[in-house]
Amino acid sequence: GAPEMQHDPLSGEGEEPARTGDAPAPEDVDGVEMDPVGATFTLDEAVDAIPLGRFHVQLFFVCGFAWMADAMEVLLLAFVGPAIRCEWGVTDFQAATMTTIVFAGMSVGSVMWGTIADKKGRKTSLLWSTFVIFVAGLVCAGASSFHMLLVGRMVVGIGVSGVPVAFSLLMEFLPQKVRGRMGIALCFWWSVGAMAEAVLARAVMPTLGWRWLLALSTFPALLLLCMAPCIPESARFYAAHHHEEKAEASLRRAAGKSGGAPPPR
């Protein structure tokens, strides 16, 4: 029979050239081809190569406003409940439903926004959920009846359930070495929102009333919507949908803003 080909460890003859870092093939979902010759690397490797910088700080603040909006919309009912009971003469049980109805809306939206995030993008899901919070919050401020207020609060709950998409978006751009601490640090913004709502209620309720408190509590949502041009789309979402060029562009923008070198071509 034919003699077996011996492997020369110096020349590399007799073996298939290995890809650097055992990166997945170009067609893999988590692999983004950056070199027409065929060199690839995983998204995690690309994200880890981007130094922590201005891009990450900006994204941390943007996602933080979403968590502020969450806290303020959930906690404001503790301040407006007594005033609403006096104005419309509702019972304690009816007043308690204002809180319950928010969580009922969250149970509906929690499934919806995750699906939208996977099919249309993290940015799209986050912005639409924020828009729902903003509009529904203003509707609640102008409610002409208790039942209208309940419907508005339920819609707010649907919008608030989309806030965790901000967490996913942030995590998909963070290097592994800081991913844990930055993810937990995002909870800082929920505390800021809770404290801001208490201060706002103390300043507004005695003079302007509960309707103004509801309206002003939508400010973090409005601020997040105004910052929409600064919100990037996840490179992982692009790669999962086989938009490798868009994934590469997203990574290069992140690297450029952070002062690091973009992924090699």
Phi and psi angles of residue 87, each rounded to the nearest 5 degrees, phi first: -70, -40
The pTM of the full predicted model, rounded to 2 decimals, is: 0.78
Q: What is the pLDDT of residues 221-241, one digit of tens each?
A: 999 999 988 889 988 889 888
Q: Give pLDDT tens digits for 82-124.
A: 888 888 888 888 888 888 899 999 998 988 998 999 999 999 9
Answer with the residue of higher pLDDT: 179 or 130: 130
Identify the band that residue 81 occupies on the pLDDT scale cut at 50, 70 and 90: confident
For range 125-143, the mean pLDDT: 94
pLDDT of residue 34: 43
Mean per-residue pLDDT, 142-165? 93
What pLDDT does residue 22 have? 47
